[in-house]
């Protein structure tokens, strides 16, 4: 039980030696009793799916067999970020970076590296091996340009151990706030830092807190939005899995700032590991007296409850989320009144997203100036992005605001694989838009992305190459939003369906040029008339692809052609008679019996029967079948 700052300092000093060398600061040594090395194994969702838990169990068993179980500490951490290379294992203090390891490799690593002192080169991330020299992960292109604030403890500490969090300076910010600062001073420092909401809109966090603080004293709430629903985004999940206490601590600070004693975290039920770690973290914080009554003996009370979502994208919208916590259908309500005035159960409420909270403690500890020194004029600090799609280094990155899209995609992300060309990057998920190759050098910040027809969103960044059809992409996002519209207001419920019908008409080859004007007109109506953020932004994928890739729409309409070769109804499958050897494989594979021909003579595809399933292309060993 931690009763005061001295108790906290005692744990911090005891734990510090175990943590610092995991950040791979040159010259740090292990000061942890008999322990000489720490083996960190990623326990994030990505690596867990590729058996990192079994790898950890095998590692522990092998260490016992080798008789060095008391010299090596095995630690399960949150996400390291480079998910494309999972499962990942890092050995400190040297920072050796093992990638894509298999359960069967563990014995060799123990024998050669942990006992023998020689890293197993064939299992190392290729970029870290330079002849005889082995680089640490911080020197790789993927990590070099990153700057980790929100993710600073992810992949460093054991998220299920509150002592390790305290060892990194955890709960020190809460202690400082409660013992040295007035609530208004807390709000002032957050305002001065320039922190803006990381969940999508980018509203200044300090101003939001100020509104809630200005409400008459009484029951108020602090809510954390962890309902990360964008397909392809996993920033918040990774923070919760890797550093849950950072969010709890920041929520308590927010509670002190606005005068609230109760917090709710609304987290997706689809994130079982995050939910589990949050439950552990909340229980540990309560046991240590860091949540509950009279925290640090200051008389300040704050407790947090966990609420699980049940699979509704619209609940990421703040008013819908509040309605859902209240136990109703997750339908949004009109604003104003804003939640800061009338929120959860009708009381003043601030609602911030996970990544926003993950920045708060660092701002308190390091000062507003430190935070404001990073980023651009109007977008301060860093931003976490989930890189996905046609990119080599799929994973999680945190970059200072103002980094260019090119740097993120080409340097950190390792570029587009298979020699394909970068076509566009999609940010902001179903609410965002596409940044085309011609704007590859824009600096990423809130205002620049909006000026270029997209938005920051929560931080999904999907890279597309020349094989992506932009009309089809817009259709994909619209299918998603149509499915997820809650149905409360007509522009979204009906308008989006009509919008989708127009896109279906175009992708099936029945489009007319006037449909483009209809798309634009309807999209703008939906944007201006919808009740909540979902409807107001749902037409964005259409508008941004229309603005940047209008020629593709025109090709679908005028030439009845899909330039990327995606839209099935506009494709025909053909056999090149010069390449076809008449092996009959394709004819046998064709599920629709659309391919005919004699043995050893070129085959032909009957377009009236062909269902365009692509089975023939996969079967042909001679590359004789092509789509056009």
Partner 1 sequence: MKKKLTTVAFSGTEEQEKKLCELIEQHKDEKGALMPVLQGAQAIYGYLPIEVQKEIALRMGVPLSEVYGVASFYSQFILNPKGEHAINVCLGTACYVKGSGQIMEKLESLLGIKGGEITKDRKFSLDATRCIGACGLAPVLTVNEEVYGRLTPDMLEGILKKYN
Interaction site with partner 1 (CB under 8 A): 269, 307-312, 324-330, 345, 483, 486, 589, 591-592, 611, 613-615, 618-619
DSSP 404: B
Neighbouring residues of 557: CB distance < 8 A, sequence distance ≥ 6: 506, 511, 512, 513, 515, 516
Residue 338 and residue 297 in contact, taking contact as beta carbons nearer than 8 Å: no
In the complex with partner 1, the residue whose CB is nearer, 192 or 610, is: 610
Residue 329 and residue 485 in contact, taking contact as beta carbons nearer than 8 Å: no
State the nearest-atom distance from the C-beta of 19 to partner 1, in Å.
36
Helix spans in 385-428 (H): 405-406
In the complex with partner 1, the residue whose CB is nearer, 186 or 226, is: 226
**Which two tokens mark 12?**
């911090």
Residues for the chain: how many in total? 628
In the complex with partner 1, the residue whose CB is nearer, 124 or 586, is: 586
State the nearest-atom distance from the C-beta of 321 to partner 1, in Å.
12
State the nearest-atom distance from the C-beta of 451 to partner 1, in Å.
35
State the nearest-atom distance from the C-beta of 307 to partner 1, in Å.
7
User: Rounded to an integer, what distance in angstroms lies between the CA atom of residue 308 and that of residue 120?
Assistant: 43
In the complex with partner 1, the residue whose CB is nearer, 66 or 308, is: 308
Instruction: Residue 18: name the closest of 74, 59, 58 by CA.
Output: 74
State the nearest-atom distance from the C-beta of 331 to partner 1, in Å.
8
State the nearest-atom distance from the C-beta of 482 to partner 1, in Å.
11
In the complex with partner 1, the residue whose CB is nearer, 156 or 486, is: 486
Give 608's Cβ-side CA count (13 Å radius). Answer: 0
What is the per-residue burial (b if ≥16 Cβ within 10 Å, else e) of 336-354? eebbbbbbbeebbbbbbbb
In the complex with partner 1, the residue whose CB is nearer, 308 or 442, is: 308
In the complex with partner 1, the residue whose CB is nearer, 74 or 492, is: 492
Instruction: Give residue for tokens 């997820």.
Output: 484
State the nearest-atom distance from the C-beta of 254 to partner 1, in Å.
20
In the complex with partner 1, the residue whose CB is nearer, 449 or 486, is: 486
Q: Which helix (H) or strand (E) holds 530?
A: none
User: Rounded to an integer, what distance in angstroms lies between the CA atom of residue 19 and that of residue 200?
Assistant: 33
State the nearest-atom distance from the C-beta of 618 to partner 1, in Å.
7
In the complex with partner 1, the residue whose CB is nearer, 345 or 369, is: 345
State the nearest-atom distance from the C-beta of 325 to partner 1, in Å.
5
Other C-beta atoms within 10 Å of 621: how many?
Answer: 9
In the complex with partner 1, the residue whose CB is nearer, 207 or 609, is: 609
State the nearest-atom distance from the C-beta of 50 to partner 1, in Å.
18
- DSSP for 559-620 reads S---TTS--GGG--EEE-TTT-----HHHHH-TT--EE--TTS--EE-TTT-----HHHHH-
Share in percent of the chain as helix, strand, coil (round to 5): 45, 15, 40
Neighbouring residues of 514: CB distance < 8 A, sequence distance ≥ 6: none
State the nearest-atom distance from the C-beta of 35 to partner 1, in Å.
41
**Which two tokens mark 596?**
């005919």
Neighbouring residues of 203: CB distance < 8 A, sequence distance ≥ 6: 196, 197
Residue 304 and residue 290 in contact, taking contact as beta carbons nearer than 8 Å: no
Coil/strand/helix, residue 531: coil
Strands 604-605 and 395-400 come out as: unpaired
In the complex with partner 1, the residue whose CB is nearer, 364 or 586, is: 586
State the nearest-atom distance from the C-beta of 606 to partner 1, in Å.
13
Instruction: Residue 443: name the closest of 357, 519, 382, 376 by CA.
Output: 376
In the complex with partner 1, the residue whose CB is nearer, 342 or 589, is: 589
State the nearest-atom distance from the C-beta of 40 to partner 1, in Å.
32
Compute the CA torsion angle 110, 160, 458, 368 (nearest 10 deg): -110
Residue 47 and residue 115 in contact, taking contact as beta carbons nearer than 8 Å: no
Instruction: Give residue for tokens 């809510």.
Output: 223
In the complex with partner 1, the residue whose CB is nearer, 34 or 588, is: 588
């Amino acid at each position: 039980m931690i009763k005061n700052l001295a108790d906290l300092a005692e744990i911090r000093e005891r734990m510090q030696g175990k943590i610092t060398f995991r950040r791979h600061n040159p010259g740090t040594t292990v000061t942890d009793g008999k322990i000489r090395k720490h083996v960190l194994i990623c326990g994030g969702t990505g690596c867990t799916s590729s058996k990192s838990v079994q790898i950890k169990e095998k590692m522990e068993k092998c260490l016992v067999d080798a008789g060095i179980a008391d010299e090596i500490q095995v630690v399960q951490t949150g996400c390291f970020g480079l998910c494309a290379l999972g499962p990942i294992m890092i050995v400190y203090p040297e920072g050796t970076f093992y990638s894509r390891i298999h359960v069967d490799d563990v014995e060799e690593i123990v024998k050669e590296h942990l006992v023998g002192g020689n890293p197993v080169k064939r299992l190392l991330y290729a970029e870290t091996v330079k002849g005889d020299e082995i680089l640490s992960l911080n020197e790789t292109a993927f990590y070099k340009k990153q700057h980790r604030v929100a993710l600073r403890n992810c992949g460093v500490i054991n998220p299920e151990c509150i002592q390790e969090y305290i060892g990194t300076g955890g709960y020190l910010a809460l202690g400082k706030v409660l013992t040295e600062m007035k609530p208004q001073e807390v709000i002032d420092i957050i305002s001065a830092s320039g922190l803006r909401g990381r969940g999508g809109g980018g509203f200044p966090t300090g101003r939001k807190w100020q509104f809630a603080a200005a409400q008459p004293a009484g029951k108020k709430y602090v809510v954390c939005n962890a309902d990360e629903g964008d397909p392809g985004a996993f920033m918040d999940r990774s923070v919760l899995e890797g550093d849950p206490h950072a969010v709890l601590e920041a929520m308590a600070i927010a509670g002190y700032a606005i005068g609230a004693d109760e917090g709710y975290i609304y987290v997706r039920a689809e994130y079982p590991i995050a939910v589990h770690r949050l439950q552990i973290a909340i229980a540990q914080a309560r046991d240590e007296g860091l949540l509950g009554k009279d925290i640090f003996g200051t008389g300040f009370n704050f407790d947090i409850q966990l609420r699980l979502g049940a699979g509704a994208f619209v609940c990421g919208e703040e008013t819908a989320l509040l309605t859902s916590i209240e136990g109703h259908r997750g339908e949004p309500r009109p604003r104003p009144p804003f939640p800061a005035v009338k929120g959860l159960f009708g009381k003043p409420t601030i609602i911030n997203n996970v990544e926003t909270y993950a920045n708060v403690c660092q701002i308190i500890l390091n000062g507003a100036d430190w935070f404001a020194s990073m980023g651009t004029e109007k977008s301060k600090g860093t931003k976490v992005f989930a890189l996905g799609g046609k990119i080599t280094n799929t994973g999680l990155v945190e970059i200072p605001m103002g980094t260019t899209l090119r740097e993120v995609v080409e340097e950190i992300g390792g570029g587009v694989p298979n020699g394909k060309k970068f076509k566009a990057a999609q940010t902001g998920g179903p609410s965002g838009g596409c940044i085309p190759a011609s704007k590859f050098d824009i600096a990423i910040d809130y205002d620049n992305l909006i000026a270029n027809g997209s938005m920051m969103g929560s931080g999904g960044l999907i890279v597309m190459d020349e094989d992506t059809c932009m009309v089809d992409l817009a259709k994909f996002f619209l299918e998603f939003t149509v499915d997820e519209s809650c149905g409360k207001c007509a522009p979204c419920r009906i308008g989006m369906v009509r919008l989708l019908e127009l896109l279906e008409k175009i992708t099936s080859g029945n489009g007319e040029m006037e449909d483009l004007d209809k798309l634009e007109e309807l999209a703008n109506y939906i944007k201006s008339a919808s009740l909540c953020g979902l409807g107001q932004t749902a037409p964005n994928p259409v508008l941004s692809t229309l603005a940047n890739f209008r020629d593709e729409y025109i090709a679908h309409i005028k030439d009845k052609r899909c330039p990327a070769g995606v839209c099935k109804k506009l494709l025909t499958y053909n056999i090149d008679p010069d390449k076809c050897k008449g092996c009959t494989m394709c004819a046998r594979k064709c599920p629709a019996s659309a391919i005919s021909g004699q043995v050893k003579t070129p085959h032909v595809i009957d377009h009236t029967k062909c269902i365009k399933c692509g089975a023939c292309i996969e079967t042909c060993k001679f590359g004789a079948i092509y789509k056009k």
